[in-house]
Amino acid sequence: MSLPDDVILLLRDEAYLDLCRTALTEAQERLVAEKEQVEQTRPPFGILATRKQKEAFEASMQSVLSNEAGIAARLGKLDAIEKWLKNAIHDRLRDYLRQASDNYRRSAKIAESIRAWDRLIEHYGEQLLALARNIKNVAVSFLGAAGGTRSAFADRAQAFAELRMGADNLDRTAVQLDSLSRTMAMYAVNSPYKDVQLAELPIKGVVAWVDALALKHDRDALPAAQEMESDARVLVAKRLSDFHASAAAALETIAKIEDKELESYWEVLRAHALAHYVQERDVDEVLNELNDRYVVATIERRQRLIESQADPYGHER
């Protein structure tokens, strides 16, 4: 897949900008030396200096200072253009690589799985809290037995039915989360993203735990239920944020790997552009041309911003 014409134009502009900066920096360095030479011709003070000497020195120094200010102004203009240009190249190269690069297409699949996992974690937390409430309801029957008064069979059966249903819902969500983790790992294997990982779920397979709990004697079931209830509540209160942090860290790692690939490819393109896309031209001519494109791009960007603020939902149509 060949580079789009607009990307080539941006790379050419960057190459010209680099040449302009080199030429202006060299001129600036020459002016520093020239300024030192002019300074050495400063006439002596008082009556020892002739009017002609003073005028010659002042004219020379004024010329150097004027040239110095002109170069500084040009370099300042280059700085503004460079910031816009690099952002434009970065965005367009990223769009290009998302279509042309296997690694970028792979990373998109990985990131999609991570974001889906991160969204589902909230549902997992809600189901953990529901599990804790259901466990507490079941534990009431164990406490009743310990106190000598056994709960009615129907009440216990109902409490266990609700607990098992909640456990089944939690297990289904855990299976979905694990499936997303496996999908992510499948795309990441044998790639630069192979070390990207998500946090392991500490509570899953709860239906089997509920079935085992139902077979325990009440005095053994009570501490087991209390322990699971505590684990579920602590997980939601203290560790749910860790899951979100795990997803955020994984996405950040992907972004860094993508940026590294983009920068490496960009460096190759930059060298190619300097070798093939430019020719000898006047610095001011090039600078004016670059500035014209910068102004047009700035106006277009502001226009898009105004339109988006006037109709914030226009992109959904």
Mean pLDDT by 10 residues, the chain (317 residues): 90 94 91 83 69 81 86 91 94 93 93 96 95 92 56 74 95 96 93 91 94 91 94 92 94 95 96 92 90 88 80 56
Q: Rounded distance, CA 17 to CA 20, Å?
A: 5
At 202 the pLDDT is: 92
pLDDT of residue 45: 67
Tally of CB atoms within 10 A around 163? 26
pLDDT value of residue 147: 43
- Planar angle of CA 222, 225, 227, nearest 5 degrees: 110
Query: What predicted TM-score, i.e. pTM, was given to this entire model?
Result: 0.76
**E strand or H helix that includes residue 237:** none
Determine the number of helices (DSSP H) and then strands (DSSP E) in the chain.
8, 0
The pLDDT score that the predictor gives to residue 272 is 95
Residue 46 is given by DSSP the state G
